[in-house]
Chains A and B, each alone.
Chain A
Amino acid sequence: MPAGSKLLPSQKVKISRGKVHIIEERCKGCGLCTDFCPKQVLHRSERVNEKGYHLVEVIEEPEKGKFCVACGFCQIICPEYAIWVEKREEYV
């Protein structure tokens, strides 16, 4: 932000929030989504699917700023078409 400029109360920043959906039977636990999630809300879990692959789980900590912002990168990088994000808008 340039020096001296201020965010006016009327100019609230819109941050989108997302809900991550995981299609568990498609996941092969490659780890790309957990590596590339910019907010680091995706984690490898100890749970496995029927093929024995470790599943991914969503762990959000909104108080620390760790929550899904619906960037959708996991959705487009997942080789398995196993993860997708539903966009929900919120005002902060």
Chain B
Amino acid sequence: MEETCELLHPIDRWLKTERMPHIWCPGCGVGPTIHAWVRALERVGIEKEKVVYVSGIGCCGRGSGYLDVDGFHTTHGRAIPFAVGLKLANPELCVTVISGDGDLFAIGGNHFIHACRRNNDLLVICVNNFIYGMTGGQLAPTTPHGGYSTTSPYGNIEHPFNTPHLADAAGAVYVARWTSIHVRELELSIAEALRMKGFRYIEVLSPCPVNFGRRNNFPEPDAMAKWFAQSSVIMHGADTSKVAIDMGKPIILGNFVKREGKPTYYELLRKLEEMRRKR
């Protein structure tokens, strides 16, 4: 017998292998992002039974159905409020939201800023592919200025969100940005975030060759990946107000913000309860 039959891909322990191959297009960055998260969970040593994966709607949202952990594929934009409730009801769980830029910053934008502000104990990973992938490539709040999409055929006249700056300004305790090509750095960053408490945000720039790349001069499945590899500059601790993405300019990556000592919403809630009981 071929020896390969007996051996498994190391991630298979975490996958619903009967659902493979997955639906994501050739060269899509969702797969490597989830892989980095799984390796970070192993690195930190979090038990599989305690891991919860919450996603919203979109290509990226499909991830929660592929992993062999507790997964919730929630309604569009509502991954964060769902995860907030889950974590408050069972604080033992390690809750991660992995969702798309449209899901987290368009329809779900308000939930994002308020969870940052309240410091809900969540890790949020945004797979930012600059576009609405699943619905066919419409303009997202993250589409770069001048970028082409099905709803901006003459170039985007809007200015995109600089999501690390948004998270920083709203009070997230950990803010980082990597790409789905910087998989080793991403794994370490996720591991660092998993060891912390409070609202932690990691933006992962991700190729969407089919819906963004094809319309923006990246015609091959690996072209956006090469763009990331060639134009990224790593600047840990960079001022988040200066890391906005502009096509043609360097992309700044790194672990930007780490705030110590901000109590989480849950901790304050427990304090409040105690105070009330004593009265």
Write the residues of chain A forming the contact surface with B, with a CB cutoff of 8 angstroms. 21, 23, 25-26, 28-32, 35-36, 51, 53, 73, 75-82, 84, 86
Known A-B contacts A26-B21, A32-B225, A35-B226; the reply to A76 vs B39 at CB < 8 A is yes
B252 interface contact, C-beta 8 A: no
Question: Interface centre among A32, A81, A86, by most B CB within 10 Å?
Answer: A81
Shortest Cβ distance from residue A6 to the other chain B in the assembled complex, whole angstroms: 33
In contact, B32 and A77 (Cβ under 8 angstroms): yes
The CA-CA distance from A21 to B187 in the complex, in Å, is 22
Residue interface bits B72-94, CB-to-A below 8 A is 1, else 0: 00000000000000000000000
Pick the contact of B32: A21, A23, A79, A86 (CB < 8 A). Answer: A79
Contact A31 B39 (CB under 8 A): no
Residues of B within 8 A of A79 (CB): 24, 26-32, 180
Q: Is B270 an interface residue (CB 8 A)?
A: no
- The reply to whether B4 and A78 contact each other, CB–CB distance below 8 Å, is no
A81 touches B35 (CB 8 A): yes
Q: Measured between alpha carbons, how far is A76 from B36 in the docked complex, in Å?
A: 7
* B183 sits at the interface (CB 8 A): yes
Docked complex Cα distance between A77 and B221 (Å) = 13
How many whole Å from B80's CB to the nearest CB in chain A? 25
The answer to whether B225 and A35 touch across the interface, beta carbons within 8 angstroms, is yes
Across the interface, do A78 and B31 meet the contact criterion of CB distance under 8 Å? yes
Among B5-13, B163-171, B254-262, the stretch in contact with A: B5-13
Total inter-chain residue pairs, C-beta < 8 Å: 75
> Chain B nearest CB: distance from A20 CB in Å?
10
- Cβ contact within 8 Å between B221 and A31: yes
> A82: which B residues are within 8 A, CB to CB?
9, 21
B22 touches A80 (CB 8 A): yes
Residue of B nearest to A35 (CB): B222
Question: Smallest CB-CB separation from A79: which chain B residue?
Answer: B31
Whether the pair B221, A25 counts as a contact (CB closer than 8 A) is: no
In the complex, are the beta carbons of A86 and B12 less than 8 A apart?
no
Q: Closest approach, in angstroms, between the C-beta of B218 and any C-beta of chain A?
A: 13
Contact of B184 with A by CB under 8 A = yes
CA distance A15 to B31 in the complex (A): 30
Q: Which of B3-59 contact A (CB under 8 A)?
A: 4, 7, 9-12, 15, 20-22, 24-32, 35-36, 39
Determine which of B11, B26, B187, B222 lies in contact with A81 in the assembled complex, contact meaning CB atoms within 8 Å. B11
A80 touches B31 (CB 8 A): yes
Nearest CB of chain B from residue A28's CB, rounded to whole Å:
4
Q: Please give the distance in Å from B31's CB to the nearest CB on chain A.
A: 4
Choose one: B35, B36, B222; the contact of A32 (CB below 8 Å): B222
Closest 7 CB pairs of A and B: A79-B31, A30-B27, A30-B26, A28-B26, A30-B221, A31-B222, A76-B183
In the docked arrangement, what's the CA distance between A60 and B136, Å? 40
- Shortest distance from the beta carbon of B266 to any chain A beta carbon, whole Å: 33
